[in-house]
């Protein structure tokens, strides 16, 4: 059964006369328990797809449907989507001076719980969980007391992002690993986080143009996004072919 179901999705970026079609008839189904990778050339619309799904301002769906566990995502506010368990990495790439990582994550967790009609997480429960997740990611308690992302290295930001994801325990996670120029340790951090979160009742979409990341995450399916549509799908070997033959080679035409 598909968890994320996108049918003939069309979307534009920008307002009014400036609106530009970027997603052009994209269909994709990710069943529960599976990890799908989306690869594609620069400018294909990969990041746009993740923004459309999370409901970012300035992105408008003009046709098609997007459901998560059978519920219409497109009629929900971004916060409702998050409360339903949709997580996008890089959702908070911003630095927030004065707000410690711990406070930020706890606020995000409680905002989602509130929308779901659940009680807030208690302080001891939160601290216990943060310690466990932090330990798994080699993040020490001192780091979690520092303001979000301020003065953190690229690799540390990456670990904090995976920390947030693991704390929030999403139903469906989208990781957009675009132009971040990650070193091998950071790639492994991302992969470890994804692999730990793999579960029969959770789905994940990993967007990347680095084949290397997929050496550590074994995706169930690999899709190629070009010009706003899925133009090829296959098993993990498709990523290897893309690396060898390039997009033009695999697609048989300029992507
Ligand atoms: P990818 O992540 O695959 O590299 P993007 O989704 O970032 O691609 O971008 C797809 C296309 O949409 C690009 O041509 C880009 O220039 C354009 N685009 C993205 N954001 C905007 C925007 N805010 N306004 C206008 N065009 C945009
Ligand atoms: Mg790009
Ligand atoms: Mg991108």
Atom of ligand 1 nearest to the CA of 176: 2
Percent of the chain with pLDDT over 90: 63
Q: Which CATH architecture has domain 2-251?
A: 3-Layer(aba) Sandwich (3.40)
Q: Under a CB-based contact definition with an 8 Å cutoff, are residues 50 and 59 in contact?
A: no
Q: How far apart are CA 222 and CA 182, in angstroms?
A: 20
179 CA → ligand 3 middle, Å: 7
Q: How far apart are CA 187 and CA 139, in angstroms?
A: 16
Query: Residue 167: is its pLDDT beyond 90?
Result: yes
Q: What is the pLDDT of residue 180?
A: 59
Q: Are strands 59-68 and 96-100 parallel, antiparallel or unpaired?
A: unpaired
The pTM (predicted TM-score) of the whole model is 0.91
Ligand 1 binding pocket, CB closer than 6 Å: 13-14, 20, 22, 40, 42-48, 58, 178
List, in sequence order, the alpha helices (H) in 21-170. Answer: 46-54, 78-83, 101-115, 123-136, 141-145, 154-168
Tell me which residue has its CA closest to atom 14 in ligand 1: 43
For the CA atoms of 174, 177, 183, 188, the dihedral, rounded to the nearest 10 degrees, stands at 20
Q: What is the pLDDT of residue 224?
A: 96
Which of 46, 48, 229 has most ligand 1 atoms within 8 Å of its beta carbon, as the pocket-test mutant?
48
**Domain locations in the chain as residue ranges:** 2-251
Give counts: helices (H), strands (E), the chain: 9, 12
Q: How far apart are CA 217 and CA 234, in angstroms?
A: 15
204 CA → ligand 3 middle, Å: 17
pLDDT single digits (tens) 46-93: 999 999 999 999 999 999 999 999 999 999 999 999 999 999 886 455
**Helix, strand and coil in the chain, % to nearest 5:** 40, 30, 30
pLDDT single digits (tens) 181-209: 677 888 888 888 899 899 999 999 999 87
Q: For all residues of the chain together, what is the average pLDDT?
A: 90
């Amino acid at each position: 059964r598909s968890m994320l179901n996108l049918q003939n999705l069309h979307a534009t970026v920008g307002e009014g006369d400036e609106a530009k079609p970027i997603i052009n008839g994209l269909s994709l189904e990710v069943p529960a328990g599976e990890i799908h990778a989306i690869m594609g050339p620069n400018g294909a619309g990969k990041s746009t797809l993740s923004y459309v799904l999370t409901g970012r301002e300035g992105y408008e769906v003009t046709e098609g449907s997007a459901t998560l566990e059978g519920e219409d995502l497109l009629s929900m506010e971004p916060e409702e989507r998050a409360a339903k368990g949709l997580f996008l990495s890089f959702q908070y790439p911003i630095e927030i001076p004065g707000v410690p990582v711990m406070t930020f994550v706890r606020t995000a967790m409680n905002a989602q719980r509130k929308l779901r009609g659940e009680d807030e997480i208690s302080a001891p429960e939160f601290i216990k969980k943060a310690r466990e997740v932090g330990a798994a990611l080699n993040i020490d308690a001192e780091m979690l007391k520092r303001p979000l992302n301020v003065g953190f290295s690229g690799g540390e930001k990456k670990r904090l992002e995976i920390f947030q994801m693991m704390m929030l325990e999403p139903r469906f996670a989208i990781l957009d690993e675009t132009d971040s120029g990650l070193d091998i340790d950071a790639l492994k951090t991302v992969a470890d986080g994804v692999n730990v979160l793999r579960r029969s009742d959770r789905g994940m979409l990993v967007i990347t143009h680095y084949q290397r990341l997929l050496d550590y995450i074994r995706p169930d399916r690999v899709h190629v996004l070009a010009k706003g549509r899925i133009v090829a799908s296959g098993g993990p070997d498709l990523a290897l072919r893309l690396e060898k033959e390039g997009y033009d080679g695999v697609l048989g035409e300029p992507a």
